[in-house]
Amino acid sequence: MKMIYFDNGATTFPKPMSVINSVTNAVKYFGANPGRGGHKLAIKASEMVFNARATVADFFGVDNPEKVIFTLNCTTALNTVIKGLLKPGDHVIISSYEHNAVVRPLEKLKERGITYTVADVIEKNNDKTLENFRNAIQDNTKLMICTYASNVFGIKLPVERLCALCHQYNILCCVDAAQGAGVIPINLSNSSIDYLCIAGHKGLYGLMGVGAIIVNCDIIPDSLIEGGTGSNSINYVQPEILPDKFESGTNNFAGIISLNAGIKFLKARNIVNIYKREIELISYLYKKLDRINSVVLYTDMPDADYYVPLLSFNIKGRDSESVSEILSTRFNIATRGGLHCAPLAHKFHNTTKDGAVRVVPSVFTTKKDIDMLIYAVRNIK
């Protein structure tokens, strides 16, 4: 039985053939260390990394590729922004849908006298959400962090309005776009987002092990780690120039090349068309699951205005991990059960006890795949 993969929220699979080929070629023919040596292969590798940087910059509407900082993943990107900006006495506002990639660094920073407030997101009521964030602002609020969309419930946040609100109070804005990048068009050229953190291996279809911070303001955080950058190497002190300040040590060359190919794949297929199609698939799934008595759904029916293509559900009286396991073992369907590293979101929806089964389509998902899932859910007793 062919496996049907719906765990695209964790990482997209399969990867496009163009991505696979780009990695094979990069490793086979151009595998020198970029930005270090001066020989032809090293210069060629540097050029390939730069081209990837330029592709990311262009995709997110940034004029200068130096503002694209490659990281190991979105978590490292978020940690870099959070720990590089905040000082003892600072206050942070986060949303009720934040991932542990945001919550855990902030919990750690409590040891240094940094505090945070959780502002509740109200589904399909952006005005109320904005009011909750406004009420959370304090005199010492330095940073607002919010996810572009919940990785558990697919609910989109009014990111631009939140960032515009924060700028009125001189509060910096960092957006966790792990679930948004590559799924929703994000253009920073006319955006109030100051730091956009992305994962390369989810909606952008690159390999695991690559992410990025895209800096969209003049305030540059302190570096999280220091080391060799291939530049100004006689100096013991970390260079201040971007992206070198944040890219100590050898980058994930293959991952970066794959990200370039992944974005080109998306551009060729048109991200808006992909989004529309995936929302249609998820809405179809919602309607069908809503008719099954044993199924619990946690949101209104997803639409393009308020949701990304993601649906979480459960079966009454069951733990989500057991449902996910049955789907895998009996029907060869890959979903993600549990808490999705986002206990804050589950607490907000009262789903901490049983978690939820998450379904995320990709560009390769078909209506037949969705029908198979519906059939499987109907047959779980």
Partner 1 sequence: MEKFIKLSSTTEAMRAKNILRKYGIFSKVKKTTAGNSTSGCSFGIVISENNDKAIKILKEHGITPFGQASGDENDIF
Residue count at the site for partner 1 (CB under 8 A)?
Answer: 27
- Please tell me whether residue 358 binds partner 1 under the rule CB under 8 A: no
3-state secondary structure of 141: strand
- Please tell me whether residue 65 binds partner 1 under the rule CB under 8 A: yes
In the complex, the smallest distance separating the C-beta of residue 49 from partner 1, rounded to whole angstroms, is 8
In the complex, the smallest distance separating the C-beta of residue 67 from partner 1, rounded to whole angstroms, is 10
Q: Which is nearer to partner 1, 233 or 379 (CB)?
A: 233
Give me the sign of the Cα torsion angle 260, 263, 268, 269: positive
In the complex, the smallest distance separating the C-beta of residue 56 from partner 1, rounded to whole angstroms, is 12
One residue of 4, 6, 16, 53 binding partner 1 per CB under 8 A:
53
In the complex, the smallest distance separating the C-beta of residue 193 from partner 1, rounded to whole angstroms, is 21
CA angle, corner 254, sides to 29 and 78, nearest 5? Answer: 160
Cα(7)–Cα(9) distance, rounded to whole angstroms? Answer: 5
Task: Output the DSSP codes for 266-283.
Answer: HHHH-HHHHHHHHHHHHH
CA angle, corner 221, sides to 261 and 199, nearest 5? Answer: 25
- Please tell me whether residue 185 binds partner 1 under the rule CB under 8 A: no
Cα(355)–Cα(184) distance, rounded to whole angstroms? Answer: 26
Ramachandran region, residue 218 (left: φ > 0; alpha: ψ -120 to 50; beta: rest): alpha
In the complex, the smallest distance separating the C-beta of residue 34 from partner 1, rounded to whole angstroms, is 7
CA angle, corner 334, sides to 330 and 338, nearest 5? Answer: 100
One residue of 80, 179, 216, 229 binding partner 1 per CB under 8 A:
229
Cα(376)–Cα(134) distance, rounded to whole angstroms? Answer: 44
Q: How are beta strands 211-215 and 68-71 bridged, if at all?
A: antiparallel
Q: Which is nearer to partner 1, 49 or 86 (CB)?
A: 49
Residues 33-52 that bind partner 1 (CB under 8 A): 34-38, 42-43, 46-47, 50
In the complex, the smallest distance separating the C-beta of residue 236 from partner 1, rounded to whole angstroms, is 10
Segment near partner 1 (CB under 8 A); pick from 3-11, 17-25, 64-72, 170-178 = 64-72
Cα(54)–Cα(99) distance, rounded to whole angstroms? Answer: 28
In the complex, the smallest distance separating the C-beta of residue 240 from partner 1, rounded to whole angstroms, is 9
One residue of 1, 234, 237, 268 binding partner 1 per CB under 8 A:
234
| Of residues 221, 278, 277, 267, the one with CA closest to residue 245 | 221
- Please tell me whether residue 13 binds partner 1 under the rule CB under 8 A: no
Q: By CB under 8 A, name the binding residues for partner 1.
A: 34-38, 42-43, 46-47, 50, 53-54, 64-66, 229-235, 239, 241-244
